[in-house]
Amino acid sequence: MKASREYQQLCDRQQFRRVYEQGQRFHAPYFSAFILRTNGSERRIGITVTRKIGKAVLRNRCKRRLREVVRHYFVSQESAMPRGYDLVINVKSGLAESDFKQLQESFARVMARFHESLLKP
């Protein structure tokens, strides 16, 4: 039996476009994150990896690593990301070779900046 996720996946191109165009941008060494408030009550996450990163095996590895980072973050953090937000992560080159701990710290810093932006009026 598969464990339930803390989030849903973004699937539709229009959903991705809306997050890119209207969302807040946060840049990190290994990825860029776009976060948008929605009217729904779920968290939705999408991960994109372009072909310039590499072949399919490498692109899939990047996605698996990021999904695991996100899963760890949501399990370990009580206030990880409020419900009602969409998150899109665009992979940058170097993510596949990066240390997993560095990747986790980078994601945590981006989420901390996101939480700070929520507190600003």
Provide the CATH number for the domain around residue 62: 3.30.230.10
d(CA 103, CA 121): 30
Measured in whole angstroms, the distance separating CA 16 from the mean position of its chain's CA atoms is 12
Residue 23 lies in a domain: yes
Kindly state whether residue 77 falls inside one of the protein's structural domains.
yes
Residue 39 lies in a domain: yes
Question: What does the pLDDT look like over 7-65, one tens digit per residue?
Answer: 788 888 999 999 999 999 999 999 999 999 998 888 899 999 999 999 999 999 999 99
The whole model's pTM is what?
A: 0.87
Distance of alpha carbon 89 from alpha carbon 32, whole angstroms: 6
DSSP per-residue string spanning 6-22:
SSEEP--HHHHHHHHHH
pLDDT band, residue 2 (cuts 50/70/90): very low
Q: Are 101 and 36 in contact (CB under 8 A)?
A: no
What was the pLDDT predicted at 61? 94
Phi, psi of 36 (to 5 degrees): -135, 135
> Is residue 1 in some structural domain?
no
Would strands 85-91 and 31-37 be described as parallel, antiparallel, or unpaired?
A: antiparallel
Residue 107 covered by a domain: yes
Confidence at residue 3, expressed as pLDDT on a 0 to 100 scale: 44
Domain that holds residue 14: 8-119
Q: How far apart are the first and last CA of the chain?
A: 43
Higher pLDDT, 78 or 60: 60
Share of the chain above pLDDT 90, in %: 61
**Domain presence at residue 3:** no
- As a whole number, the mean pLDDT across the chain is 88
* Number of compact structural domains in the chain: 1
Contact 41, 28 (CB under 8 A): no
